[in-house]
A = this chain, B = another copy of it.
Amino acid sequence: MTTIKDIAKLSGYSIGTVSRVINNHPDVSEEARRRVEEVIREQNFQPNSNAKQLKQQSNSAITIIVKGNENMFFEGILERVQAQLKESGEDVAVTFLDEYSNEVQAAIQLCALRKPKGFIFLGGNLEFFRMDFDKIDVPCVLLTNTAADLGFSNLSSFTTNDMDAGYAVIDYLIKKGHTKIGIIGGSASKIGSQIGFRRIEGCRRAFEDHGITFDESMQFEPSRFSMSGGYESAQRILKKNPEITALFAIGDTIAIGAMRAIKDMGLSVPEDVSVIGYDGIESARFSIPRLSTIHQDTDALARKGVEDLLLRINYRHPLAHEDVPFSLMEGESVKTIETKKKRSTK
């Protein structure tokens, strides 16, 4: 193992100077810097990160906490975040959590264990943040939910505007002639913190604006963010409410399960039941039928999240809470219904 000591000896400078070169301290002569860097290159020297971190009292790799094992959407975004971070030379640790577990507690534990430089949360329940996030003091970013109202000084957030997007979905379906619309996914809890809540809240407003009543007990069914969750919830809601002509699954993973369930009930998409998803994952572009969905800009989410975190880890940099734009991608899974009302008004 080459150490900083060897570099010192070889370059003719002290280990203090070598360390300063490595860490880009300003007060090193050009000559010393050049010489030391040369030796470092020759020896292919890599500083020992354990020693460095021991000394600096900080910290291990940036940690990504993925909340929702089975949610395919997170897989895509995880990859992007990981790629971004690696480009910046940052090491990355990943922890997968069940969709219902407490991500903030998990982060607190990790802090005790290895003091990560920072966290990126992929998905998060605001309720857990409210309860315990004050115990975390490293810079964090929450992706796909907004932390704007929480007021923590070390938590940025980037998300699709779920309220607007939920609104857009229902508005779209209604304009396509649907009025008997079912929603599946997320939990029915009114806490206002679960990932799906804002989406559903947007739906509510759209229904209202169109003068259509939304009966939660008949038109909503909770579901895990998984294909099997979507499969089961679609079956349940369609059985309890056979009038439904369109289903909004608040995640593509759920939607794909739902389409399979509809098929297994002897019905077809979109002829008997239209389905629209949320996320815009790759599988949605290859499913049969192709899934209509809200496309979240994973690239922007990942890029902004990583940039923000890095800036705040390395410099004094202000927090940010931003929405990234979304778009409704039309596939083949929603059909137009000519309603009587429509016809008469035309």
- Which chain A residues have a beta carbon within 8 Å of chain B's beta carbons? 1, 44, 46, 48-51, 53-54, 57, 60-61, 69-70, 75, 79, 82-83, 86, 91-96, 112-114, 227-228, 231, 256-257, 259-260, 263, 282-283, 285-288, 290
Contact = CB atoms under 8 A, between A and B. Distances in A.
8 contacts: A44-B112, A79-B96, A86-B95, A92-B93, A93-B94, A256-B286, A260-B288, A283-B283
Nearest to A257: B286
B227 A283 contact: yes
A54 B50 contact: yes
Contacts of A96: 79, 82-83
Nearest to A260: B286
B69 A60 contact: no
Given A50-B50, A54-B50, A112-B46, A61 B286 contact: no
A61 B110 CA distance: 13
Report the copy number of this chain in the oligomer.
2
Nearest to A82: B96
A144 to B, nearest CB: 18
A246 to B, nearest CB: 18
A263 B288 contact: yes
Contacts of A86: 95
Contacts of A48: 54
Contact of A114 (B49, B228, B288): B49
A114 B91 contact: yes
A70 B227 CA distance: 19
A285 B83 CA distance: 30
Given A257-B286, A283-B283, 19 more contacts: A46-B112, A48-B54, A49-B113, A50-B60, A51-B54, A54-B54, A61-B93, A79-B96, A86-B95, A92-B93, A93-B93, A227-B285, A227-B286, A228-B282, A260-B286, A260-B287, A260-B288, A260-B290, A288-B288
Contact of A231 (B1, B79, B286): B286
A266 B136 CA distance: 56
Nearest to A110: B91
Contacts of A93: 61, 91-94
